[in-house]
Amino acid sequence: MTLKNKKISITTKKKLLKEKEILLAGYNLFVTRGVEKTAIDDIVKLAGVAKGTFYLYFKDKYDLLDQLILQKSNEIIKDGLKKANSLGIDDFRKRTLFFLDYIISYLKENKSLLKLINKNISWGLYRKAMMKPKEYDEIKNVLDIFVRNLTNYGIQKDEAEMTLFMIIELVGSVCFTTIILKEPTDIESIKPILFKKILSMIGV
């Protein structure tokens, strides 16, 4: 490695470290104070960076929130994918329900994360993930597999994507309402009904 390349490598590492520190500071403040009560000044102070540095990576705190949700979603999906592969689950229906059950269980055990995400595991964020396949390859991989499986059963691609959108929105909403608000019942009581409805939506 040349001296020039070494300097570029060190600079890149420093930039990634600063971005990571901002993300970590934002996450810690968002889950303890809430997004609305957290100012950018609070984030940069905790991260130990200048305010101008924040704007090199994020447009505002809501852009930071979007990136955190994508990051955390990616981690959950990566773990779920690894678990499904280790168990050798090949059946599409079983694999789909396993993923959903894994995500629900994870959010149930991590209520602070669920409060942060709220109902924001949304199609818009997953669209962003699809535009950055290198960063969020697990999310894109799961989306592609889901849509491909539905199209293999004769469902049009547009309908398959809309079905996925509805499932994502449904699961996010039900998780928040039942786990955080405990309405109309708890998540374990409603889960069999939720899975039954999702299987009917898949229709395969």
Per-residue model confidence as pLDDT tens digits over 6-50: 544 656 667 788 999 999 999 999 989 989 999 999 999 999 999
**Amino acid at site 39:** A
**Percent residues over pLDDT 70 in the chain:** 82
The total domain count for the chain is: 2
Judgement on whether residues 70 and 53 belong to the same structural domain of the protein: no
Show the domain range for 180.
62-202
For the chain, give me the number of helices (H) and strands (E)? 10, 0
49 and 67 inside one domain:
no
The whole-model pTM stands at 0.78
Clarify whether residues 89 and 48 are in a common domain: no
What is the chain's mean pLDDT, rounded? 84
Q: Is residue 33 domain-shared with residue 131, that is, in the same domain?
A: no
Q: Are residues 139 and 115 in the same domain?
A: yes
Query: What is the rounded average pLDDT of the residues 65-93?
Result: 83
On whether both 158 and 189 belong to a single domain, the answer is: yes
Span 81-113, pLDDT tens digits: 788 888 888 888 888 899 899 989 999 999 988
Q: Any residues with CB less than 8 A from the CB of 58 and at least 6 apart, and which?
A: 22, 64, 67
Residue 25 and residue 107 in one domain: no
